[in-house]
Amino acid sequence: MTNDINGMNGKVALVTGAAGGIGSEIVRALHAQGATVGLVDRAPGALDELVADIEESGVPGGGRLLALPADVSDPAQVTALVDLAEAELGPIDHLVNAAGVLRPGPVGKLTEEDWHDTFAVNATGVFLLCRAVSARMVPRGGGAIVTIASNAARTARTDMAAYAASKAAAQAFTKCLGLELARHGIRCNVVAPGSTDTPMLTSLWSGEGAERPSIDGVLDSFRVGIPTGRLALPRDVAEAVLFLLSDRAAHITLQDLTVDGGATLGV
């Protein structure tokens, strides 16, 4: 028996980037609250491992977990995965856009491929999934969508121009979509993490204590530290997503919830 304080029991959720550090934690949180979850990612092996790990963990959970390998930047694949998800799991109540890529580097060294690939996943993927899923939500008169953006969408960062711009696009798109869909009872919100202890972040590190610049700040990069004195955990982000999807946020839409320990000073 799950503790259904969020109204998730029996709901169907679709999570992109489900094999990633944040996405996988969102899947775990939704399932623990009683939801059936479709897991979308380009890494089928990682999806299968995650499903097996959750099912073998013994943690009381919800309905079925279905791996849906797909490239969110491919319109045909997105259409097919949404069709399959609804056929196998039922009507989608919640969509979480957590798929993301990071190609760091100064603008002068970014290639057209870096730019295109970043926007293809971080922005176009959000558009494609939202378009496909919301088309099914509208006739049913309800649903909730959360897009994982970044605090970099509103605060300039060195060596992160493509990533920041793509996340800003996803952020603005999600709010515009929410305005269009509000009359249909569909809520659209954004969660904007800061530095989070995931492979995306740690892949940029080298050497012992490499996390300290993120926590303490880097003057040469015009970056303040994290006032709470720690990196976010994926669970911190997942809890914010869970809240915005839940019945407890029934009158919240078009909002951007920053989860960065104060790193952007509330801006």
Question: Which residues belong to the active site?
Answer: 163
- Find out whether 38 and 13 touch, Cβ atoms under 8 Å: yes
Residues 6 or more apart from 149 whose CB is under 8 A from it? Answer: 167, 168, 170, 171, 174, 190, 191, 192, 256
Question: DSSP secondary-structure letter at 157?
Answer: -
Q: In what order do the strands lie in the sheet with 186-193?
A: 65-69, 36-41, 12-16, 94-97, 143-148, 186-193, 256-259
Q: How far apart are CA 241 and CA 214, in angstroms?
A: 23
Q: How far apart are CA 203 and CA 93, in angstroms?
A: 34
Q: How far apart are CA 203 and CA 209, in angstroms?
A: 14
Q: Which residue type sits at 38?
A: G
